[in-house]
């Protein structure tokens, strides 16, 4: 179980030689701690490293300097290789990617089930119920490739919830959603937080997921 | 697995898989049949007296006029101890035996009704290990090849060409009846040994005929004992040797070695050349089969790498959502393993049904040829399938691991 994620003087290698314009970042080149049970909004304009931040947290990239630590009761959980990051993604960090990473040749239900088959976290009925709450009840057997971006975003959100997690990481989750669906998504997230006391990290370039954030981080 | 397979099986080229299957089926069939043929042939060559047998090689030194004239001066056709050791040390020679001749006079007497024929003959012996499998028993005579001095009956082996000479030379031109092998067995043949102590008579039992050793043979122990008891002479030098050669190996180099030494091979060495030729053909056949199989192996490697390349993004997405590299590899591992096992299974089945047709033809031509069990061939098929599965698995895992890493 991960109870906090510590960014210690971390910066993207791509930023190393580029002098920063404007106000200093609250994340890069400083010490930041993300705690389980709290919610964070990471806000900035495009190109300031939000998606890179998400990739670093879920262990998909390591092109940074500084140190990222995953702590469990104050003890660092070693995540020092690509292979070691796999259990992190399966059990601790649930990520909704900005680019969604859905499989267009599979139906919305199959996309979610494909993840659920390795986590075994939900029943098919629960998954169908969640898809229905987000207005996709009639589209569970529709291929994702034939769905709109907004529908795909909702499928990706349901897939993100299909696993045990200490942190839920949502990279621009409502960029293609209307207020109603964004509200439903926020409500489902609240229910999950109440149930598991997970930490929530949401990124945004302006249009936010309507949620009660404990902390807003400007990149 | 079903969902994952459903996702990753896309872009699978059936044409490539079928191509691999057919080429490897052909290669596998040829390899398995070739190896089975090699096994059968080796066992055939190592066992009975037959035209293809490795058998034994009898060698002498050439008799020249100079030697004839110079025998009094010490020129002779005897083998020295050094020469015998040199032969024994030759890699494809497993044993060297000496011919021991009877050092006393022998008269053979054949009584048929009222007529009595007799002639002087000679007897020789070679160590018994050279006799095993070297003669064809007359009738069902497979009794023990041994005799003691005080036995009344001693077994002898005649060269087949003696009988052929009589049947097809003497008998036909003189109106005499020809002799069958079975009749030969019942011939009342007596051997009279002239010894310093008087005449000693034995009944001879013709127990076999041989194509290889051109002399009349009696058991080794009997000959040693008879020479010791009936001859005052000391042991004479050896002028004829018998060499046992390794089964399952080409003996061309031995023939060249003997020829270079100036030794003469008794009888016909064509069986050795024929054996070398058969081994050569088998190696070529197995080589061609291996070439087919290797081509098919790399064909599947290319095919699977291409497939993984086409699905690279999907594998990366699976990895991002929590799949390990091993889990993402599963469909490919499963697919290659299924194809590999299926192809070697089919190749073994094909060889099981088709090889006996070929070996049956050989058996008809050469009755001594008895095919070995096909179990060994199935074992080889299983090993090859396992090898293919492991090698293809390594290729798949390495490539998928290459995708599932830090970006």
Q: What are phi and psi of B230, to 5 degrees?
A: -100, -5
Any CB–CB contact under 8 A between B386 and chain A?
no
Q: Mean pLDDT over residues B13-23, rounded?
A: 88
Q: Residue B401's closest chain A neighbor by CA?
A: A83
Give, for B204, the enclosing helix (H) or strand (E): strand B198-210
Is A110–B6 a contact, with Cβ atoms under 8 angstroms apart?
yes
Q: What is the predicted pLDDT for the residue at B4?
A: 86
pLDDT band at residue B72 using 50, 70 and 90 as cut-offs: low
Name residues 322-361 of chain B within 8 A of A (Cβ).
322-325, 327
Q: What are the angstrom distances between the C-alpha of B33 and each of A129, A184, B92, B348, B375?
A: 60, 69, 26, 9, 12
pLDDT band at residue B139 using 50, 70 and 90 as cut-offs: low
Is A86–B322 a contact, with Cβ atoms under 8 angstroms apart?
yes
Report whether pLDDT(B146) > 90: no
Q: Residue B3's closest chain A neighbor by CA?
A: A114
pLDDT per residue as tens digits for the range B161-200: 888 888 888 888 877 778 887 777 777 888 998 888 788 8
Query: What percentage of chain B exceeds 90 in pLDDT?
Result: 23
Is A82–B327 a contact, with Cβ atoms under 8 angstroms apart?
no
Any CB–CB contact under 8 A between B11 and chain A?
no
Report whether pLDDT(B53) > 50: no
Q: Mean pLDDT over residues B379-386, rounded?
A: 95
* Residue B116 buriedness (CB in 10 A; 0-12 / 13-18 / 19+): exposed
Structural domains in chain A plus CATH codes: 4-218 (3.40.50.300)
pLDDT band at residue B12 using 50, 70 and 90 as cut-offs: confident
Cα–Cα distance between A16 and A10 in angstroms, integer?
Answer: 10
Which residues in chain A have Cβ-Cβ distances shorter than 8 Å to B311?
none
Cα–Cα distance between A93 and A89 in angstroms, integer?
Answer: 5
Give, for B330, the enclosing helix (H) or strand (E): helix B325-365
Average the pLDDT over each of A172-176, B11-15, B49-53, B125-129 and give the range with the smallest value: B49-53
Give, for B318, the enclosing helix (H) or strand (E): helix B312-320
Q: Strands A4-12 and A64-72, how do they pair?
A: antiparallel
Q: Residue B317's closest chain A neighbor by CA?
A: A101
Mean pLDDT, each 10-residue run in order, chain A (219 residues): 91 76 78 93 86 92 91 86 89 94 95 94 95 95 95 96 95 92 96 95 91 91
Is B405–A118 a contact, with Cβ atoms under 8 angstroms apart?
no
Q: What is the predicted pLDDT for the residue at B74?
A: 60
Largest CA distance in chain A: 52
pLDDT band at residue B145 using 50, 70 and 90 as cut-offs: confident
Any CB–CB contact under 8 A between B407 and chain A?
yes
pLDDT per residue as tens digits for the range B230-289: 887 777 678 888 888 776 555 667 778 888 888 887 765 666 677 778 888 888 999 999
pLDDT band at residue B52 using 50, 70 and 90 as cut-offs: very low
Q: What is the predicted pLDDT for the residue at B50?
A: 44
Q: What is the predicted pLDDT for the residue at B67?
A: 65
Which residues in chain B have Cβ-Cβ distances shorter than 8 Å to A92?
none
pLDDT band at residue B51 using 50, 70 and 90 as cut-offs: very low
Question: Per CB distance under 8 Å, which residues of A are interface residues toward B?
Answer: 55, 58, 60-63, 82-83, 86, 89-90, 95, 97, 101-103, 105-106, 110, 113-115, 117-119, 159, 163
Q: How many CB atoms lie within 10 A of CB B187?
A: 14
Task: Return mean pLDDT, chain B.
Answer: 83
* Residue B47 buriedness (CB in 10 A; 0-12 / 13-18 / 19+): middle
Q: Residue A92's closest chain B neighbor by CA?
A: B322
Which residues in chain A have Cβ-Cβ distances shorter than 8 Å to B321?
89, 95, 101, 114-115, 159
Of A83, A89, A114, the CB nearest to B3: A114
3 state SS of B64 = coil
């Amino acid at each position: 179980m991960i109870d906090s994620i510590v960014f210690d003087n971390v910066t993207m290698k791509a930023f190393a030689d580029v002098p920063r314009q404007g106000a200093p970042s609250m994340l890069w080149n400083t010490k930041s701690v993300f705690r389980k049970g709290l919610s964070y909004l990471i806000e900035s304009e495009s190109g300031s490293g939000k998606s890179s931040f998400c990739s670093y947290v879920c262990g998909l990239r390591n092109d940074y300097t500084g140190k990222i630590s995953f702590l469990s009761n104050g003890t660092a959980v070693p995540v020092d290789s690509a292979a070691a990051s796999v259990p992190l993604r399966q059990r601790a960090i649930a990520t909704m990617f900005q680019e969604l990473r859905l499989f267009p040749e599979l139906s919305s239900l199959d996309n979610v089930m494909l993840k659920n088959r390795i986590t075994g976290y939900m029943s098919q009925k629960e998954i169908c119920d969640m898809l229905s709450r987000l207005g996709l009840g009639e589209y569970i057997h529709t291929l994702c490739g034939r769905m709109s971006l907004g529908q795909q975003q909702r499928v990706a959100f349901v897939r993100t919830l299909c696993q045990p997690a200490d942190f839920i990481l949502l990279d621009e989750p409502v960029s293609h959603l209307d207020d109603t669906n964004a509200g439903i998504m926020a409500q489902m997230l609240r229910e999950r937080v109440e149930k598991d006391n997970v930490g929530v990290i949401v990124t945004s370039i302006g249009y936010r997921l309507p949620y009660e954030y404990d902390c807003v981080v400007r990149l | 697995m079903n969902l994952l397979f459903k996702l990753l099986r896309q872009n699978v080229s059936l044409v490539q898989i079928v191509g691999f299957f057919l080429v490897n089926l052909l290669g596998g069939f040829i390899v398995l049949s070739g190896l089975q043929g090699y096994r059968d042939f080796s066992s055939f060559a190592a066992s009975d007296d037959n035209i293809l047998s490795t058998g034994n090689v009898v060698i002498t030194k050439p008799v020249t006029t100079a030697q004839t004239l110079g025998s009094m001066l010490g020129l002779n056709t005897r083998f020295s101890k050094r020469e015998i050791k040199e032969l024994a040390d030759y890699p494809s020679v497993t044993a060297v035996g000496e011919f021991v001749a009877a050092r006393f006079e022998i008269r053979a007497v054949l009584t048929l009704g009222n007529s009595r024929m007799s002639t002087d003959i000679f007897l020789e012996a070679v160590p018994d290990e050279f006799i095993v499998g070297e003669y064809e028993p007359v009738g069902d005579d497979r009794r023990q090849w041994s005799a003691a001095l005080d036995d009344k009956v001693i077994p002898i082996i005649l060269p087949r060409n003696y009988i052929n000479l009589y049947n097809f030379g003497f008998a036909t031109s003189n109106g005499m009846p020809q002799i069958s092998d079975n009749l030969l067995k019942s011939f009342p043949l007596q051997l009279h040994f002239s010894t310093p102590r008087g005449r000693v008579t034995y009944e001879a039992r013709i127990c076999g005929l041989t194509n290889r050793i051109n002399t009349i043979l009696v058991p080794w122990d009997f000959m040693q004992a008879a020479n010791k008891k009936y001859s005052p002479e000391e042991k004479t030098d050896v002028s004829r040797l018998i060499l046992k050669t390794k089964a399952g190996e080409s003996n061309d180099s031995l023939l060249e070695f003997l020829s270079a030494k100036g030794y003469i091979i008794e009888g016909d060495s064509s069986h050795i050349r024929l054996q070398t030729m058969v081994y050569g053909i088998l190696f070529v056949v197995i080589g061609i089969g291996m070439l087919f199989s290797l081509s098919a192996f790399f064909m599947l490697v290319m095919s699977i790498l291409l497939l993984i390349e086409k699905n690279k993004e999907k594998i990366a997405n699976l990895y991002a959502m929590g799949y390990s590299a091993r889990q993402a590899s599963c469909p490919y591992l499963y697919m290659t393993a299924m194809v590999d096992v299926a192809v070697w299974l089919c190749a073994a089945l094909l060889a099981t049904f088709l090889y006996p047709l070929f070996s049956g033809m050989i058996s008809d031509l050469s009755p001594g040829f008895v095919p070995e069990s096909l179990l060994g061939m199935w074992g080889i098929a299983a090993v090859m399938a396992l090898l293919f599965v492991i090698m293809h698995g390594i290729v798949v895992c390495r490539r998928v691991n290459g995708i599932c890493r830090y970006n």
